[in-house]
């Protein structure tokens, strides 16, 4: 009996040890993946970069780091880390990753006091997704055809006020005409007809609220931020009055404001007044600012590059001979040369210089040279769009304005892979207003090319480094002479 008990005891001890060892081995095996199996990106301290940022600017500093460290590197900001991913080869996870893996994080906080805390980056993910759905619906390409006539009317009416000849600031003129266009189909006729001047200057105050300082400290009561907040309150008052007056009179209009007023959440709730105002402000903000800077750069580049100006004018002659006075959606879709001139201006001076996300889970990247890195959870991830647009292994002679690079036989934006041209973002959050942006700018420039002979008379504009987008600095003076372009 004793013998049996002793054997049983030894057996129990052996089983216990085997179980402990097996558990340890299996835990070790399952833990192995928690440790980085690949190296982390090289790290630089932000302090070491300050002299370069101060002397050369952030963009050049990033370009220098890219040359020195390769396409993946991390900047340590005394704790928080920013990892830059340079080049189309390593951008896929940034654009396609699930929201639970990589999202906007706090980067969009700066937009909350501009748009409203009731919309988009001020609300939870589920509500935001539904609101983005409302906005995307307003911007559907299928709705664009019906927008051509109103945009054309605004453009023709605006430039009809120019004399036979004259000198104007192109920047001021194009900002104005784009405000008329946006207000026509976004804000509705009430604002367009009665208070556009006030609304334009209020939007200007909101735009000033988007600067590098407010990115870091969106709520600090600087004079600029205070003016931004006052402008926001007044805009909300104006739009709320319009919404109430439409609702009480039963009047229905064909514009984005109306469509947003009719939007319903999945639970059947209608969008509130504050939400409608916030979404309208977001739409104007997302669209007008980048479209106006792109239309100015497009003009500055075309007027400084005779070869492409001539090609764009020739294309207009073809369009006139084909469509006579019936220039509509199909004619604009055929303006490939003008399209490429705009796209190349966007490549040279992209309004969204950098796109940013927060990594909620570790992920792996592989560079085009085959090097692999683990990017840890918690890192802020940045795609430097402006630098990507100038990469020599993607774009031939990248600092030259050459719209033909997008033409048949070259297509440099495609040869470099899916994420070579990310001026409009890509993947999950690709710009829903891209088609509208091209359309507005084409309507403006095709009208100008057909009706005026233009010359750039101030020096080619520099980039305003104090602004978040790559805006032209100062006035952009042009001279004009009215003409009627002859068709073939």
Q: Are 207 and 287 in contact (CB under 8 A)?
A: no
CB of 353 to ligand HEM, least distance (A): 10
Q: Residue 165 and residue 319: Cα distance in Å, rounded?
A: 25
| Cα gap 80→78, rounded to integer Å | 6
| Token pair listed for 296 | 């100015």
User: How many whole angstroms separate alpha carbon 450 and alpha carbon 393?
Assistant: 37
Nearer to ligand HEM, 185 or 373 (CB): 185
Q: Please report how close the Cβ of residue 221 comes to ligand HEM at its closest, in angstroms.
A: 27
Residues lying near ligand HEM in the complex (CB under 6 A): 132, 135, 139, 283, 286-287, 290-291, 294, 351-352, 355, 423-425, 429, 431-433, 436-437
Helix 434-451 with 273-304: angle, nearest 10 deg: 40
**Nearest-CB residue for ligand HEM:** 433
Q: Which is nearer to ligand HEM, 209 or 287 (CB)?
A: 287
**Nearest distance in Å: CB 89, ligand HEM:** 18
Which is closer to ligand HEM, CB of 291 or CB of 451? 291
Is 135 or 300 the residue whose CB approaches ligand HEM more closely? Answer: 135
Nearer to ligand HEM, 323 or 329 (CB): 329
| Complex with ligand HEM: residue 94 or 395, whichever CB lies closer | 94
Q: Give the nearer residue to ligand HEM in terms of CB position, either 225 or 470.
A: 470
Instruction: Say if residue 341 carries a ligand binding annotation.
Output: no
What minimum distance in Å lies between the beta carbon of 150 and ligand HEM? 14
At 269, list the tokens. Answer: 């709730």
Closest approach of ligand HEM to the CB of residue 340, in Å? 14
Count of beta carbons in the 10 Å neighbourhood of residue 337: 20
Q: Shortest distance, CB of residue 355 to ligand HEM, whole angstroms? A: 4
Smallest gap, in angstroms, from Cβ of residue 427 to ligand HEM?
8
At its nearest, how many Å lie between ligand HEM and the CB of residue 178?
Answer: 9
**Least distance (Å) from ligand HEM to the CB of residue 282?**
7
Helices 148-160 and 170-182, interaxial angle, to 10°?
Answer: 140
Closer by beta carbon to ligand HEM, 436 or else 448:
436
Say how far apart CA 255 and CA 260 lie, in whole Å: 9
* CB nearer ligand HEM, residue 188 or residue 351: 351
How many CB atoms neighbour CB 344 within 10 A? 25
Place of tokens 């002479």: 481
Q: How wide is the angle at C-alpha 203 spanned by C-alphas 425 and 351, nearest 5°?
A: 25
Q: Nearer Cβ to ligand HEM, position 113 or 425?
A: 425
Annotated binding site: 431
Annotated binding site for heme: 431
């Amino acid at each position: 009996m004793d013998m049996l008990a002793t054997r049983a005891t030894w057996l129990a001890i052996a089983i216990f040890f085997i179980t402990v060892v097996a558990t340890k081995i299996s835990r070790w095996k399952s833990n192995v993946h928690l440790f980085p199996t690949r190296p982390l990106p090289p790290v630089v301290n932000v302090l070491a970069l300050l002299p370069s940022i101060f002397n050369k600017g952030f963009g050049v500093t990033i370009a220098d780091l890219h040359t020195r460290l390769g396409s993946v590197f991390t900047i340590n900001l005394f704790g928080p880390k920013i990892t830059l991913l340079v080049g189309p080869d390593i951008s896929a996870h940034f654009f396609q990753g699930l929201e639970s893996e990589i999202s906007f994080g706090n980067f969009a906080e700066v937009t909350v006091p501009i748009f409203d805390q009731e919309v988009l980056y001020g609300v939870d993910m589920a509500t935001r997704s539904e609101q983005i759905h409302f906005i995307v619906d307003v911007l559907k390409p299928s709705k664009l055809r019906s927008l051509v006539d109103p945009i054309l009317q605004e453009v023709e009416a605006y430039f009809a006020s120019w004399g036979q000849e004259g000198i104007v600031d192109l920047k001021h003129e194009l900002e104005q005409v784009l405000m008329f266009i946006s207000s026509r189909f976004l804000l509705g006729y009430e604002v367009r007809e009665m208070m556009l001047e006030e609304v334009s200057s209020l939007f200007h105050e909101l735009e000033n609220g988007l600067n590098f300082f407010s990115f870091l400290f969106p709520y600090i009561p600087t004079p600029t931020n205070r003016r931004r907040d006052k402008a926001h309150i007044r805009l909300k008052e104006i739009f709320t009055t319009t919404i109430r007056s439409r609702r009480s009179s039963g009047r229905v209009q064909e514009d984005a404001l109306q469509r947003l007023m009719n939007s319903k959440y999945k639970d059947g709730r209608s969008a509130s007044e504050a939400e409608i105002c916030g979404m309208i402000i977001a739409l104007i903000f997302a669209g007008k600012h980048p479209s106006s800077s792109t239309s100015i750069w497009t003009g500055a580049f075309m007027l400084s590059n005779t070869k492409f100006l001539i090609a764009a004018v020739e294309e207009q002659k073809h369009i006139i001979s084909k469509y006579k006075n019936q220039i509509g959606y199909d004619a604009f879709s055929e303006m490939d040369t003008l399209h490429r001139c705009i796209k190349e201006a966007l490549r040279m001076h992209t309004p969204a210089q950098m796109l940013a996300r927060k990594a909620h889970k570790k992920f792996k990247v592989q560079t085009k040279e085959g090097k692999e890195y683990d990017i840890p959870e918690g890192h802020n991830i940045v795609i430097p769009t402006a630098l990507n647009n100038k990469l020599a292994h993607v774009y031939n002679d990248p600092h030259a304005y050459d719209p033909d690079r997008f033409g048949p036989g070259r297509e440099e934006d495609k040869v470099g892979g899916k994420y070579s041209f990310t001026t409009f973002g890509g993947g999950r959050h690709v710009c829903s207003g891209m088609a509208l942006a091209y359309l507005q700018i084409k309507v403006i420039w095709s009208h100008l090319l057909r009706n005026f002979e233009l010359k750039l008379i101030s020096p080619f504009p520099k980039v305003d480094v104090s602004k978040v987008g790559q805006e032209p600095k100062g006035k952009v003076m042009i001279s004009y002479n009215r003409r009627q372009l002859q068709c073939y």
